[in-house]
């Protein structure tokens, strides 16, 4: 278990198996080996091991909770719900199981039940900082009235007061304040943060996002790494289940209209691959599928998901510049939203494509017919259609197609984006 906690998974797996050789069916060894198998991408084996351990210790709430986590992360929400309810039946004060139950109820769009589950958690554990933070995220994600966003502000304030190390609560507090048009209060949150940590990339970026400082031409690498390394474990859950994230599917449909039949003959780059959500959509087209991302935490999740022939932790423009005429298709789902100025990245993409190759990417749409980019309070950039068209033409692309679609939801409202296809002639 010490090796497991230290992330030395090779040693931990070897030692768990040694325990099981010495004492077959030792339930704790089976339980934690099951967790480890899931972490290494062998989720079915993990389920079998934890289920076997529960036949020996059927009232072990941690084992029920961890089994639920595997089902949840594999998208089997009904199975996960059953596990969390069993964990709570065995241990009514198991706060993580109560929190996880709320998450899967939300993922099943049973919002009233999810709210009650979060509320019960906070009644049971009023000093559980993570519970207040997640209730705030729930209220803001599913806001139907402005009061819900106002309530999220109080949740984030409480979460941070209880756990000053939870910087995500501070960031979320600023976003909610800005959404309520309380811009100076939002800016003050980030100024106070910078007073304590003058070089923190998230505080610096978000102060600019709410208008308290000059916006950079693109998000700093340190900001992107910090955000997504910390977000890696819950990325799929938050985006897919709670924010109705659709960018990979939308881009795949758009590409399907211009690419030849999916016969596995193309060299494809997933530029900003994240946890690998695009991999199963791109794999049918690819003889060689490469994924790159700036966040090592996200790349590790993509490695576990599988589907790529090659994965690399690198800034995408650097990778593109280093690989001339290397790809038939480049896809970038919600990655260029962290670039204000797009020209360098689009020049590099044109350079990395072979003649006739296609670039597909998504942007968040800024309103208006002018040539403009702006940093939104979410920390992501928004571009007008004219800006995107000009930058693509300047990079040398032709046959540019730009359509609108809903990419996700935020504060209960859909986020409209540009779905862009461009070809190198």
**Residue ranges of the alpha helices (H) in 41-128?**
43-56, 61-73, 77-90, 95-107, 111-124
> What is the Cα–Cα distance from 112 to 108, expressed in whole angstroms?
11
Instruction: Determine the Cα–Cα distance for residues 292 and 372; give it in Å rounded to an integer.
Output: 28
pLDDT of residue 83: 98
Domain 127-214 fold: 1.25.40
pLDDT band at 171 (very low <50, low <70, confident <90, very high): confident
Average pLDDT for 363-391: 94
Helix (H), strand (E) counts: the chain: 21, 9
- Give residue limits of the domains in the chain: 127-214, 231-423
Reported as a single tens digit per residue, the pLDDT across 30-56 is 999 999 999 888 899 999 999 999 999
The pLDDT tens digits for 113-141 are: 999 999 999 999 999 999 999 999 999 88
- The encoded tokens of residue 154 equal 């109080």
Q: pLDDT: is 67 or 178 the higher one? A: 67
The superfamily CATH assigns to domain 231-423 is Vaccinia Virus protein VP39 (3.40.50.150)
Cα separation, 236 vs 312, whole angstroms: 20
- Other CB atoms within 10 A of residue 127 CB: 11
Structure tokens at 228: 């997504």
| SS3 assignment, position 8 | coil
């Amino acid at each position: 278990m010490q090796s497991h906690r230290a992330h030395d998974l090779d040693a931990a797996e070897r030692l768990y198996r040694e325990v099981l050789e010495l004492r077959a069916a030792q339930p704790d060894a089976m339980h934690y080996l099951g967790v480890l198998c899931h972490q290494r991408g062998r989720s079915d084996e993990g389920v079998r091991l934890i289920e076997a351990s529960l036949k020996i210790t059927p009232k072990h709430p941690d084992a029920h909770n961890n089994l639920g986590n595997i089902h949840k992360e594999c998208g089997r929400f009904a199975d996960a719900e059953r596990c969390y309810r069993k964990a709570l039946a065995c241990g009514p004060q198991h706060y993580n199981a109560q929190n996880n139950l709320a998450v899967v109820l939300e993922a099943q769009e049973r919002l009233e039940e999810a709210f009650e589950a979060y509320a019960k958690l906070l009644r049971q554990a009023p000093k559980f900082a993570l519970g207040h933070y997640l209730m705030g995220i729930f209220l803001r994600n599913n806001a139907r009235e402005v009061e819900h966003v106002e309530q999220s502000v109080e949740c984030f304030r409480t979460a941070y007061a209880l756990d000053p190390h939870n910087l995500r609560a501070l960031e979320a507090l600023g976003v909610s304040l800005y959404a309520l048009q309380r811009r100076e209060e939002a800016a003050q949150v980030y100024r106070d943060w910078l007073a304590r940590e003058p070089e923190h990339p998230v505080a610096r970026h978000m102060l600019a996002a709410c208008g308290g400082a000059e916006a950079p031409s693109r998000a700093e690498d340190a900001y992107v790494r910090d955000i997504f390394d910390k977000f890696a474990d819950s990325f799929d859950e938050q985006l897919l289940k709670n924010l109705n994230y659709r960018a990979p599917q939308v881009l795949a449909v758009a590409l399907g209209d211009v690419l030849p039949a999916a016969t596995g003959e193309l060299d494809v780059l997933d530029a900003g691959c994240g946890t690998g959500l695009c991999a199963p959509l791109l794999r049918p087209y690819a003889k060689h599928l490469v994924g790159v991302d700036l966040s090592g935490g996200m790349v590790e999740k993509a490695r576990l998901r599988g589907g790529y022939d090659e994965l690399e932790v690198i800034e995408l423009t650097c990778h593109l510049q280093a690989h001339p005429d290397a790809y038939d298709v480049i896809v970038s789902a919600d990655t260029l939203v962290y670039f204000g100025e797009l020209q360098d990245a689009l020049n590099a993409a044109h350079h990395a494509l072979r003649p006739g190759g296609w670039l597909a990417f998504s942007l968040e749409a800024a309103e208006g017919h002018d040539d403009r980019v702006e940093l939104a309070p979410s920390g992501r950039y928004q571009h007008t259609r004219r800006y995107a068209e000009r930058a693509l033409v300047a990079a040398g692309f032709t046959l540019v197609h730009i359509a609108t679609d809903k990419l996700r939801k935020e504060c209960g409202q859909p986020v409209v984006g540009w779905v862009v296809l461009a070809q190198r002639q």
